[in-house]
Amino acid sequence: MSMRRSLFGATAAAFAVTVLTGCGATVAEPTGEELFERAESLYLDFRETTNGVLAAVHDGPWEVGTYGMLPSGVGCGDGWKFDLTRTVSIDPAEILGKREAVSQHLVEAGFEVEGMDLASGTVSSGDVIVRKQGVYSLLTVTLIDNGNVVLTATSPCQPGDIEELDRMMYGDDPIPDWPVPKQEAPSDPIFFGIADGEPRLPSSPPPAD
């Protein structure tokens, strides 16, 4: 495992060449620019959708846990996915209203939403959950009555060689020159990958081999 993977979150290698269709036939997994373009499209949709959820709670900076841009193979067999974590503290008096705002935002965006309430002797929380819909295999927004909010989001697993995608996104250096931000706001620009130590703008080609 490279140091870069430790920096962004654990991943697993994948080297499968084909995938099975529902009819039992095999089709080639995406490679090269097709793999890069599919990953870019998923990531941009994943981040734009998630940023809308974040903004429904707080439109300023959130603390970054797992940044979300490094493909992860955990739980995906021979494929990969994106996942991220964000946290923020807001006025505890706003928690109930923000939970409703998140639910309404997701419903208006076309998602079916679940909810779950948890309570201990001192702290209670409510979760807004989306499972296996659109850009999410799982989205959970946990709003705690002390004002803390935690968002975790995971995309569906995708076919393709995770090591090839990683190289196209970040090159061959063990650690990208670009540091992982400690905070990020929903309105901050979204980019995909790093080229020569700088964020790569969407739809710019991956570096040549």
Longest dimension (CA), the chain: 58
> For strand 136-144 and strand 124-133, is the pairing parallel, antiparallel, or unpaired?
antiparallel
CB 159 within 8 A of CB 17: no
- 3 state SS of 45: helix
Residue 96 has a pLDDT of 93
Tens digits of residue pLDDT in 94-141: 999 999 999 999 999 999 999 987 665 566 889 999 999 999 999 999
How far is the first Cα of the chain from the last one, in angstroms, to the nearest whole number? 21
CA distance 107 to 48: 16
Bridge partners, 194 (sequence order)? 199
Tens digits of residue pLDDT in 152-183: 999 999 999 999 999 999 887 655 556 788 99
Residue 202 has a pLDDT of 77
pTM: 0.83
154: tokens are 């995971």
CA distance 127 to 141: 5
Does residue 24 surpass a pLDDT of 50?
no
